[in-house]
Structure formats: structure tokens, C-alpha cells
Amino acid sequence: MLWRRGNLTVGILLVTLAVWVVFERSGYTLLSLVSSVLLLLIVILFLWAKSAAILNRPAPPLPELYLSEEMVNEVGAVIRAHVNDFLSASQDIALGKDARLFFKVAAYLLLLSVVGGFTDFITLGYTGLVVVLTVPALYERYEDHIDSYIIIGCRKMQHLYLKFDSKFVNRIRKWILERQKLS
């Protein structure tokens, strides 16, 4: 729904475009930039605290950095549940229990590998943001045309699947059944 507020969407796109250009032109990586900013922050706070002690001024105002045991336990429980779900799905894939999930994961990993070979993480993130912000607006504007093309495409894919199934899959099934009967 963010794209309905045009000024906010354009602002986000311009800021992310500026960040992307800075990263591309400067040669910085995200890790090196974050490290440099944190180093600068630590140096400023250290010098401020030392100069405040010498000049009898108040120390820099910092929020209290404290994690309660409850908060850590809640976050740990949520993370544990997600990790256990991931490990269970991974075990099902590794043991061959869920072939459909295996093919989905394999396809997504192959797609990520191909896309990752063409671009770096920052460019991929910026491109993903542009797609997320523009595709819903374009779909809403041209919904009727897009839906008609999708219906035509689905029909063609079903037709191709039926051809493939009749030519190859049925032959392989028949061959397997004949081999089992001969055994």
C-alpha cells in the first residue's frame, strides 16, 4: 500500500538510488561502511567522554543498553522454533521424503545462483525494492490486460504440459511397468 502515497514512494526510491550510487561509485561494501561509521561513532563518544571529564561537564547522553532475561528468552524461543522448522524441512529434503519441496528449494537456489552471478547484493536489493514498489502500481493500472495475458499463458503452459506428459512421462511409466512385469 506504500505506492499509493506517491511522494513517500518517490522519496524512498530516490534515497535508495542515492545509497546505491554511493556504494557503486565509492567502492565501499556494506560491511566496510558500517564498520567505518561505528568506528567514527566510538571515537566521537570516547573523545566527548574524556573531554567532559577534563572540563567537568556531563558525559554524553547514552540510552541504557540492557537486555532483560525475558526478552532474550522470547527471542530465543522464536528463533529456536524457526530453526527447528528449517531443520525439519531440510531433513525431509535430505531423506527424500518431500520431492516437491526439494524441487522448489533447488529451483530457488539455482535462481539465486544465476542472479547472484550477474549482480552484487546492493544492486540486487535496490532492484528488488524498485520491483516491489512499481509492480503493484502497474498491475493495478493494467489489471485487465495483465490478467488476460496470464490466462492465455496458463492455457499454453497446460497444453505444453499435456504434450510433454503424453510424449515422455507416459512412455517412461509404461517402460517402468513393463520392466516390473518382466522381473
Return per-residue pLDDT of the chain as tens, 183 residues.
556 777 887 888 888 888 888 887 887 777 787 888 899 999 998 999 999 989 988 888 888 878 889 999 999 999 999 999 999 988 988 888 888 888 888 898 898 888 778 877 778 888 888 888 888 888 888 899 999 999 999 999 999 988 888 888 777 778 877 877 776
Question: For residue 157, which amino acid is it?
Answer: M
**Three cell numbers, residue 8:** 513517500
- Interhelix angle 69-94/99-118, rounded to 10 degrees, is 110
Report helix, strand or coil for 16: helix
Stated pTM of the model:
0.46
Count CA atoms within 13 Å of residue 114 on its CB side. Answer: 6
Q: What is the DSSP letter of 147?
A: H
